[in-house]
Amino acid sequence: MSLKHALLGFINYGPMTGYELKKFFDTSVAHFWNAELSQIYPALKAMESEGLVEMKVEVQEDRPNRKVYSITEPGRRELLGWLAKPSEREQVREPILIKVFFGSSLSKQELISVLQNCADETRTALTYLQHAHQFVDKFVESIGLEHEALFWQLTIDCGLKVHRAELDWTEEAIQKITAADDSIFENERHGYEGVNDIRSAMEALDRVKSLMPGALSGADTYLHSATSPAEQPAAKAKAKVAGR
């Protein structure tokens, strides 16, 4: 669970409230991690009962009281341990790729506008990240946290690179689709009746699989392979080695 560790990371900068944590999230890691207040408050409570943080109430007259959380020694240890551990990857989920995958059901124009829309959003994201880069520069200068700048900027660089690649792909995809023969679209209206027999398709799958031993063995392996030996209890031996 990364949320707790992200919270710990911020609280490690200095004691703060849930409300302030939300602000930090929104102005710094929003492009790769979101957290709602309704998630932050219970998380803090849980972390307190686990002894990772301590809470002190700051009484206020005119506004609601503040609950200020600070990190404890076990909390700091937990944070450092997690930071140094190899990263679990989150399962990718890209609705746009589902649309492209089944694109033969759409008209050429429909598919292109879906992609166009996608490209526009990516451009917006890129602009945002470029601003964010400048923002970090100014912020770091304003408060004197030059030692953090490298790390913060790196996360933005990652977003920029990945989004540029996405945009690149989207534009290329639009070109390829534009250039494609009309007959591959709107399959239903072209008398295309789907795969006549699913079972023969499945057999074809198996045939090709056996032609390429190991090729797709990674399907389930390559994603969740935070395979530090400690976490892979040898007893289970569930690894599907399939052909290697």
The footprint of DNA (CB under 7 A) covers: 1-3, 17-20, 23, 34-39, 41-42, 44-45, 60, 62-67, 91, 93, 224, 237-238, 240, 242
By C-beta, is 50 or 175 nearer to a copy of itself?
A: 175
If the CB atoms of residues 46 and 83 are measured against a copy of itself, the closer one turns out to be 83
- Taking the mean position of all CA atoms in its chain, how far away is CA 65? 34
Q: Where are the beta strands (DSSP E) in the chain?
A: 53-58, 66-71
Q: How many residues bind a copy of itself (CB under 8 A)?
A: 117
SS3 for 96? helix
When CB distances are held under 5 to 8 angstroms depending on the partner's kind, the choice from a copy of itself, DNA, none that residue 180 binds is a copy of itself
The Cα 151–Cα 71 span in angstroms is: 21
Distance CA 204, CA 24 (A): 52
Residues in the chain: 244
Positions in 121-140 near a copy of itself (CB under 8 A): 121, 124-125, 127-128, 131-132, 134-135, 138-139
Give the whole-angstrom CA distance, residue 1 versus residue 42.
14
- Should residue 231 be labelled a site residue for a copy of itself when binding is judged by CB under 8 A? no
Given the complex with DNA, which of 35 and 118 has the nearer CB atom? 35
Q: Write the interaction track for a copy of itself spanning residues 36-55; mark x where CB under 8 A is met and - where it is not.
A: --------------------
Region near a copy of itself per CB under 8 A, out of 39-47, 55-63, 87-95, 231-239: 87-95
16: three-class secondary structure by DSSP: strand
Tokens of 198: 């699913």
Instruction: Give the contacts of 241 (CB within 8 A, at least 6 positions apart).
Output: 217
Whether residue 140 contacts residue 146, with contact meaning beta carbons closer than 8 Å, is answered with yes
Residue among 57, 197, 237, 244 that touches a copy of itself (CB under 8 A)? 197
Stretch that binds a copy of itself, among 40-48, 55-63, 158-166, 230-238 (CB under 8 A): 158-166
Beta carbon nearer to a copy of itself, 191 or 233: 191
DSSP characters over 211-242: HSTTTTTHHHHTTS----GGGS-TTT-----T
